[in-house]
């Protein structure tokens, strides 16, 4: 570790500490702590939304996946920009902000709970978030700490402790203001880091078209196993209906692309700005930011194949000895100048810290505000910040414990479970919350019972699919194997060989939980609402602003 690296990391942490302190000084009430007083600047809001959305695994993990799958992953970037930013801010953002203000909601579960006049919804949503977000946080935390410990040559457990304590201080003290101010700085660093990576990569490979052409020319080098799965080269989509195409289309594009709309830690950000004007101004900032994050990661991840072919005569996944997560770090080390490694280290630390701080904050508000204060009627006056701060602390301790224990106690199984954390949380949130959330914003006919039934059926059906059918998750979680002797109910053993159950082009074990859980949740929400008691018009008028 060079002296420059230490100086820059210390300077970075000092700025983070200052921003956390600023958040702390200007936090006086529960609204400040949870919503930044509803007066956050659009740049801060957009960068915070984007930086929270993009974690280290979105850059290293998905960038590495692009090294295997190729540039077809750019469909996910398009979904991220168009749905995750444009539709999210324009269509969902304005209505969420206005309804949140009318109902004086401070959190996403509180918005849903008050809209449907149900403390159960608020409590149950908080339980779902608080139970599963530690797994997602642990996935981000483990990835970041592994990277930091290798870059700064310090022990994994020491890095885990230091990193968590730093984030804990500014989240607990500064609340959402501390989180969003630091997010804005971290987002800006990430933007510069990724922009530099894209430019340097294209220059190194002789320009945009030349770089892509070199990758196109490598189609014959696709490993046999990937070819058998439907891989047709890194600048081509996989063969239609092949296992690879299902993984690509269903899991990555649908799972993460649509899942973003009902993420509690992202949706709450719409309520932090003062007016619709701020949301409009946040759209270009968010759009460019996301394009520079996942777009660059996917392009560079794919092009790493050209670099490794030219230098080692191998494709990326072979050069990285089968470890997808190692592709981007290996590429940076061997293809980029040394000064860049410092900038990129800050980029990755920023990506992890910004996601983690928001995850910890939403854990705290779910436990403190939604579950203890509101759902369990334990409101004791005061500013209402203490319970939330204790909730944040509890959430951090659980996530750190998971990151510490999973690998130590369960070895590779633990690592595999943690690695599924992001996808599991995204899918679960979409199935449990999206139909109810859309209904809350636009439909007067969705009833309280319909919303509850939809939330529970979405959560349960996606959990069933995660634990027993979708092969990556069910294999990692082991429960299916314990109960039924197979790693997925979509796979049966015939003469010692795995046979995948399929209906036409649909191979069930590759289908994402969202593809199954979301339609079930929509159907249940709508059909139960048709036969149950409608909500009072006076309440709906207040919610929708039609009074």
Partner 1 sequence: MLGIEDPWVVLAYVLCIISALLCLVWGAIKWNVDDTVDEPEDEIRHWAEEEDRVEEEL
Binding site for partner 1 (CB under 8 A): 70-72, 74-75, 77-78, 81-82, 85-86, 90, 94, 98, 101-104, 208-216, 232-233, 235-237, 275-277, 279-288, 290-291, 295, 379, 542, 545, 547
Contacts of 404-408 with CB under 8 Å at 24 or more apart are: 404/157, 404/160, 406/138, 406/142, 407/142
Nearer to partner 1, 85 or 436 (CB): 85
Nearest-10 crossing angle of helices 421-442, 94-102:
70
Q: Which DSSP state fits 372?
A: I
Backbone phi, then psi, for 478, in 5-degree steps?
70, -15
536 — phi, psi (to 5°)? -65, 140
What whole-number distance in Å separates Cα of residue 108 and Cα of residue 116? 13
Closer of 106 and 177 to partner 1 (Cβ): 106
Residue 72: CB minimum distance to partner 1, A: 6
The minimum distance between CB 85 and partner 1, in angstroms, equals 6
Token pair in block for residue 477: 């979680």
Query: Cα separation of 415 and 421, whole Å?
Result: 10
Question: Measuring CA to CA, how many Å separate 47 from each of 85, 283, 290?
Answer: 11, 10, 9
> At CA 260, angle to CA 255 and CA 263, rounded to 5?
120
Residue 40 vs 160, nearer CB to partner 1: 40
Nearest distance in Å: CB 91, partner 1: 12
Comparison of 290 and 320: residue with beta carbon closer to partner 1: 290
Q: What minimum distance in Å lies between the beta carbon of 216 and partner 1?
A: 6
Question: Min. distance of Cβ 507 from partner 1 in angstroms?
Answer: 20
CB of 274 to partner 1, least distance (A): 9
> In whole angstroms, how close is the CB of 44 to partner 1 at the nearest point?
15
Residue 496 DSSP code? T
* Residue whose CB is less far from partner 1, 322 or 545: 545
546: exposed, middle or buried (Cβ count in 10 Å: 0-12, 13-18, 19+) = exposed
Residues 6+ apart with CB under 8 A from 25: none
Q: How far apart are CA 31 and CA 41, in angstroms?
A: 16
Other C-beta atoms lying within 10 Å of the C-beta of residue 243: 18
CA-based R_g, the chain, Å: 23
Rounded distance between C-alpha atoms, residue 42 and residue 20, angstroms? 19
Q: Name the maximum alpha-carbon separation found in the chain.
A: 70
Cβ of residue 373: shortest distance to partner 1, in angstroms?
A: 11
Q: To the nearest whole angstrom, how small is the minimum distance from the Cβ of residue 297 to partner 1?
A: 12
Q: Which residues contact residue 292 at a Cβ distance below 8 angstroms, ignoring those fewer than 6 apart?
A: 191, 194, 195, 198
Tokens 């309440």 locate to 539
Q: Would you say the C-alpha torsion 393, 395, 399, 404 has a positive or negative sign?
A: positive
Residue whose CB is less far from partner 1, 295 or 439: 295
Nearer of residues 114 and 361 to partner 1, judged by Cβ: 114
* Cα-based distances in Å from 218 to 43, 75, 306, 336: 41, 21, 8, 22
| Minimum distance of partner 1 from residue 159's CB (angstroms) | 34
CB of 69 to partner 1, least distance (A): 11
Min CB(28)–partner 1 separation in Å: 16
Distance CA 10, CA 443 (A): 51
Residue 182, helix vs strand vs coil? helix
Give which of 407, 346, 397 is closest to 152, Cα–Cα: 346
- Minimum CB separation of residue 235 from partner 1 in Å reads 4
378 phi/psi in degrees, rounded to 5 = -105, 25
| CB of 539 vs partner 1, minimal distance in Å | 10
CA dist 438 and 416 (Å) reads 33
């Amino acid at each position: 570790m060079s002296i420059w690296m230490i100086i820059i990391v210390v300077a970075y942490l000092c700025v983070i500490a200052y921003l956390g302190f600023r958040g702390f000084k200007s936090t006086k009430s529960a609204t400040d702590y949870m919503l930044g007083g509803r007066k956050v600047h659009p740049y801060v809001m957009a960068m915070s939304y984007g930086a929270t959305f993009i974690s280290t695994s979105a850059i290293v993990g998905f960038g590495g996946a692009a090294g295997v799958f190729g540039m077809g992953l750019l469909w996910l970037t398009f979904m991220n920009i168009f749905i995750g930013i444009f539709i999210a801010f324009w269509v969902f953002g304005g209505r969420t902000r206005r309804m949140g203000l009318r109902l004086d909601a401070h959190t996403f579960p509180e918005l849903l709970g008050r809209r449907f006049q149900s403390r159960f919804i608020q409590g149950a949503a908080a339980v779902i978030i608080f139970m599963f977000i530690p797994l997602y946080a642990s996935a981000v935390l483990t990835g970041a700490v592994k990277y930091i410990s290798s870059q700064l040559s310090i022990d994994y457990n020491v890095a885990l402790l230091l990193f968590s304590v730093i984030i804990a201080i500014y989240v607990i003290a500064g609340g959402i203001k501390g989180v969003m101010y630091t997010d804005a700085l971290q987002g800006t660093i990430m933007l510069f880091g990724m922009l530099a990576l894209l430019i340097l990569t294209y220059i190194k490979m002789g320009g945009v078209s030349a770089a892509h052409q070199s990758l196109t020319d490598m189609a014959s080098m696709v490993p046999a196993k990937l070819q058998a799965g439907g891989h047709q080269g890194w600048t081509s989509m996989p063969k239609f209906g092949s296992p690879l195409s299902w993984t690509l289309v269903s899991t990555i594009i649908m799972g993460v692309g649509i899942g973003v709309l009902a993420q509690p830690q992202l949706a709450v950000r719409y309520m932090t700005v003062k007016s619709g004007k701020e949301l409009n101004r946040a759209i270009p900032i968010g759009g460019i930011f996301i394009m520079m994050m996942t777009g660059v990661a996917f392009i560079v991840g794919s092009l790493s194949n050209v670099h490794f072919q030219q230098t080692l005569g191998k494709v990326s996944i072979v050069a990285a000895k089968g470890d997808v997560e190692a592709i981007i770090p290996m590429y940076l080390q061997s293809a980029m100048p040394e000064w860049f490694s410092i900038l990129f280290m800050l980029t990755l630390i920023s990506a992890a810290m910004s996601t983690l701080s928001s995850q910890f904050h939403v854990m705290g508000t779910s436990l403190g505000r939604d579950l203890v204060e509101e759902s369990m009627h334990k409101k004791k006056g005061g500013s209402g910040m203490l319970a939330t701060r204790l909730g944040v602390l509890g959430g951090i301790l659980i996530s750190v414990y998971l990151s510490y224990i999973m690998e130590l106690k369960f070895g590779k199984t633990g690592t595999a479970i943690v690695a599924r954390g992001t996808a599991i949380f995204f899918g679960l949130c979409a199935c449990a919350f999206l139909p109810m959330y859309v209904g809350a914003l636009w439909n007067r006919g969705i009833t309280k019972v319909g919303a509850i039934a939809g939330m529970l059926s979405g959560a349960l059906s996606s959990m069933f699919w995660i634990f027993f059918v979708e092969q990556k998750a069910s294999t990692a979680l082991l429960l299916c194997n314990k109960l039924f002797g197979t790693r997925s109910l979509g796979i049966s053993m015939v003469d010692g060989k795995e046979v995948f159950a399929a209906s036409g082009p649909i191979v069930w074990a590759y289908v994402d939980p969202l593809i199954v859980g979301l339609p079930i949740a929509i159907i249940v929400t709508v059909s139960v609402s048709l036969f149950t008691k409608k909500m009072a018009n006076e309440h709906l008028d207040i919610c929708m602003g039609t009074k």
